[in-house]
Structure formats: C-alpha cells, structure tokens
C-alpha cells in the first residue's frame, strides 16, 4: 500500500484528494494536515466523509509525516509550499505540489508572474510539470511534481494537436475560459460571496492571469518556439467546472472532420481525453465529478479559423484527480486506478 499524507486537506482541492484517495485500492491515508482544524475529525468538517474517513486533522510536523509517508500531496497556497517541500525532498519523500511554486522551468518567469522571489529555485531543476499527456515518462521518474493549474490543463490539451502538427498560426491564439467559483478556493472574499456571484458573470485578471505563463511555457515546448497568447478568464455562477474556448487561424484549409481525425490520432490511447464527433461540443456537466477532458471543435470557414472547445472539472482533472493520476504513474500503477468514474451530469 502507498502511504499518503495530504497537507491542506480541508480546502476544496484537499478534500477532493481525501475523497478520491479514500476509495483508491492501493492507498492508505496516514496523515491529513489542516492548521485551522487541528484535533478535529475531518468528517466533522466535511460530514460527507462520515464513516469513510474519520481521521483527526494534524498540525504540520514535517519529520513526523515524512517518517510515515511514501508520498505527500501539498494543497497549500502559493508561496507556502516553497517553505515545506524542500524538507520533504530532503527526507526522500515524493511530493506532488498543487500550488504554482514548482510548475516552471525558468525561475524568472515564476517570479515575474507571481510577484515574489522563489526560495528554492534549485528544485525547479528536478521538478516535473505534471501533465501526463505531455510528460508521462518524466513523471514516472520524478520525486517532485508541479501539478498543473485547472485553466492550463484545459487550454493546453485543447491546442496541443494543432501546434504539434503545425496547423495554426501561433502568433494570434486567443483563449476565452470560464470557471466555477470553487476555483477560487474555500477562503472568504467579497468576490466569491453568493450575492456577488449569482446571476452574474465577469472577466477578471484580463491579460495578467498567472495561468497564461503556464500555458505559454507548455505550448512553446510543443511548438519548439516561443508562443505568446491572449488568455481571458471569467467567473461564472456555478460551483465547479472549466469551459475553455480557443481560437486560432489555420495555415491552410481544413474541414472539422479532418482536424478531428488528427485529434483522435494524437490522443489515441489517452483514456481521460474524449474527442467529440463533428457537430457536437463539450459541456461542463459532461465532465463534472470526473477526471475526463472533453474536446470538440468547429471550423469557421469564413475566417479559416478553428474554434476548439474543451471542458473539465477544475477540482478533479484540474487539480486533485490529475494529482492522483500523477501518483499512479510515479508508483507504476495503472494511471486510471481510483479515477474511473463518469461525470455526474446533474
């Protein structure tokens, strides 16, 4: 059995990790850490876990946790992970970090977009960007994973086949993405109060959202050249889900059917990516509660432009589910283990 610790277990991503891993046949959860609820049963904080996970929340004691765990998931705020992860790495514990702290190949990019100095840039040399569809072989050998963001996973996977096959002009890519409110986390803020969100939709951090840099990093690696794109996120009045719509100019004429065949070939064998038939497009209720990414597309013949629509659950394939998928790869398990579930739909 893989002995697992979860730091930040009572946030929205952390509790999804607890829920998923509690059903994983090869995992034993030995430590749940929450500084805000030390000594309380996690099932008292989240009653849906009663009778399934009734462990007490612990305070953070790196040495104690490291001696009990094979792998630690760190679902901590950006910046907090940098102070904890080096200690786990020194103890030889594998780490899957769900913050943005170890997703970057270039420390200057991180520092520019996050507005803070990185305390452990040397660890960026050993960390692997945890997107299995692009980095599966590296993930298998890694001891430190920077688990991707939700917007980034949805957007990158929507565009990779076009870029890998050099089908689009990479100078004018536009991504318009929408997220449910859980993407902001469990912390209280005016922007996520019910009365501020319901019956409302808004763009935010236009041209400045941090996930832009992640998307550009990964797409640039696929393209073999620097890609700079326009990314605009929106907050919509629902709990969970990401819908991304990406626009790109085609280099020559293609039909939707021809492009869909290219997508199907590129993602052949990828269980968690579902390509839609021509004339159909993804919706968030098709993926909510699952680890799937659904992708469909349309060709705007008037403009010779492809419009790619992708959807995922921001808390699962966009966070906790993808982290478990990475863990499965790291420990040589079938990467679907514990993750084969359909979307909830309702």
Rounded Cα gap, residues 275 and 281, in angstroms = 9
Question: Are 343 and 290 within 8 A, CB to CB?
Answer: yes
Distance CA 296, CA 165 (A): 17
Cα–Cα distance measured from residue 152 to residue 180, given in angstroms and rounded to the nearest whole number:
15
Among candidate residues 143, 142, 165, 290, the one with its CA nearest the CA of residue 222 = 165
DSSP H/E element including 243: strand 242-249
Spatial contact of 35 and 6, defined as CB atoms under 8 Å apart: no
Token pair for 15? 């509790």
Residue among 150, 154, 195, 197 flagged as catalytic: 150
The answer to whether 194 and 181 have CB atoms below 8 angstroms apart is: no
Contacts of 39 (CB under 8 A, 6+ apart): 56, 57
Query: Is the CB of residue 19 less than 8 Å from the CB of residue 45?
Result: no
Angle, alpha carbons 171-172-176 (nearest 5°): 135
User: What residues pair up with 6 in beta bridges, in sequence order?
Assistant: 32, 73
Per the annotation, the verdict on 150 as an active-site residue is yes
Active site residue ranges: 150
């Amino acid at each position: 059995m893989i002995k697992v610790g979860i730091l930040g277990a009572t946030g929205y991503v952390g509790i999804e990790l607890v829920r998923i891993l509690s059903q994983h046949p090869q995992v034993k959860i030995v430590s749940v850490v929450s500084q805000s609820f030390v000594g309380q049963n996690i099932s008292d904080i989240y009653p849906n876990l009663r009778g399934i996970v009734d462990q007490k929340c612990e305070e953070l004691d790196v040495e104690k946790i490291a001696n009990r765990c094979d792998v630690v998931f760190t679902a901590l705020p950006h910046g907090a992970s940098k102070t904890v992860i080096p200690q786990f790495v020194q103890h030889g514990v594998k780490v899957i970090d769900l913050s943005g702290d170890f997703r970057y190949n270039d420390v200057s990019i991180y520092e520019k977009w996050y507005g803070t100095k990185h305390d452990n840039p040397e660890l960026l040399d050993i960390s692997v960007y945890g997107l299995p569809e692009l980095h599966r072989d590296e993930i298998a050998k890694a001891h430190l994973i920077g688990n991707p963001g939700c917007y980034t996973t949805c957007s990158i996977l929507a565009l990779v086949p076009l870029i890998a096959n050099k089908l689009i002009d990479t100078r004018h890519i536009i991504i318009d993405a929408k997220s449910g409110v859980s993407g902001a986390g469990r912390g209280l803020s005016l922007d996520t109060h019910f009365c501020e969100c319901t019956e409302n939709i808004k763009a935010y951090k236009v041209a400045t959202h941090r996930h832009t840099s992640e998307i550009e990093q990964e797409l640039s690696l696929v393209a073999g050249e620097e890609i700079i794109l326009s990314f605009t996120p929106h907050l919509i009045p629902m709990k969970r889900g990401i819908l991304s719509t990406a626009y790109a100019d085609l280099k020559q004429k293609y039909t939707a059917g021809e492009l869909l065949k290219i997508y199907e070939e590129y993602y052949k064998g990828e269980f968690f990516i579902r390509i839609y038939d021509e004339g159909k497009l993804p919706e968030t209720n098709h993926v909510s509660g699952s680890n799937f990414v659904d992708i469909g597309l349309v060709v705007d013949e008037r403009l010779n432009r492809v419009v790619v629509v992708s959807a995922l659950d921001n808390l699962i394939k966009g966070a906790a589910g993808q982290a478990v998928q990475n863990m499965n790869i790291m420990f040589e398990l079938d990467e679907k283990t514990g993750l084969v579930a359909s979307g909830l739909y309702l």
